[in-house]
């Protein structure tokens, strides 16, 4: 989506994509990555996700990238975290003890900021892109990750014609076709979560699958 779309959503606080709780797949499967506590974890398009607090509680250093300034500010204010703000090129860097958020375009995020991460977590980034832009994002993510990096990817899949995204439907076939060049892929879980998503029920979407993948950067 164009940047203006997301800025409008945050300005109007139309942020249904923001989960009020930590993602269940993150809690269930993060240990599968078997990371050392002090590992650095990259979270693309992080918004103000509470999942970052979960990652920090595991002892990790969290590095997030988020387009919208209000989202970043709300993350720190909502969680009552003191932070410092500095400029890093065209990005604004917000930092607290274990969490560093870079506010700006992920497509211009300097590689050196993520060159020493060993893991990543994508719950709301890949599914935020329409199919016409998704492959470009996937390549950018791969370019920001060192070889050997492990990641947990959470996706949604449903009949795209039944509902206009975001979130957009990402099928297992799309994952296989577009990510295998850069990642080793293991499906960890797939569940029908339609009953937990009233918006999809209201739009008469017949099914909604949430899937968790373990990825390893080649």
Kindly report the CATH number that applies to the domain delimited by 39-117: 3.40.50.150
Q: State in words which class domain 125-218 has.
A: alpha beta
Mean pLDDT in each 10-residue stretch from start to end of the chain (218 residues)? 56 55 95 96 95 97 95 94 95 96 96 97 94 96 98 97 92 97 98 94 95 98
Residue spans of the domains in the chain: they are 39-117, 125-218
- Establish whether domains 39-117 and 125-218 are of one fold: yes
Q: Look at strands 150-157 and 61-66 and give their pairing.
A: unpaired
Of all residues in the chain, what percent carry a pLDDT higher than 90? 89
């Amino acid at each position: 989506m164009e940047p203006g779309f997301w800025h409008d959503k945050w300005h109007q606080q139309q942020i249904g994509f923001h989960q009020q709780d930590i993602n269940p797949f993150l809690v269930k499967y993060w240990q599968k990555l078997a990371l050392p506590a002090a590992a650095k974890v990259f979270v693309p398009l992080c918004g103000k996700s509470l999942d970052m607090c979960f990652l920090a509680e595991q002892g990790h250093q969290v590095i997030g990238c988020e387009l919208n300034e209000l989202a970043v500010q709300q993350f720190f204010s909502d969680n009552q975290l003191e932070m410092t703000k500095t400029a890093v090129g065209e990005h604004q860097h917000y930092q607290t003890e274990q969490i560093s958020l870079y506010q700006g375009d992920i497509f211009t995020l300097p590689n050196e900021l993520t060159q020493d991460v060993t893991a990543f977590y994508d719950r709301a980034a890949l599914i935020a892109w329409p199919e016409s832009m998704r492959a470009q994002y996937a390549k950018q993510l791969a370019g920001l990750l060192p070889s050997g990096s492990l990641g947990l990817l959470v996706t949604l899949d449903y009949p795209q014609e039944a509902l206009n995204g975001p979130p957009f439907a990402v099928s297992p076939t799309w994952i296989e076709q577009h990510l295998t060049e850069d990642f080793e892929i293991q499906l960890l879980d797939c569940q029908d979560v339609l009953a937990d998503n009233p918006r999809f029920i209201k739009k008469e979407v017949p099914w909604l699958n949430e899937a968790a993948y373990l990825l390893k950067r080649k």
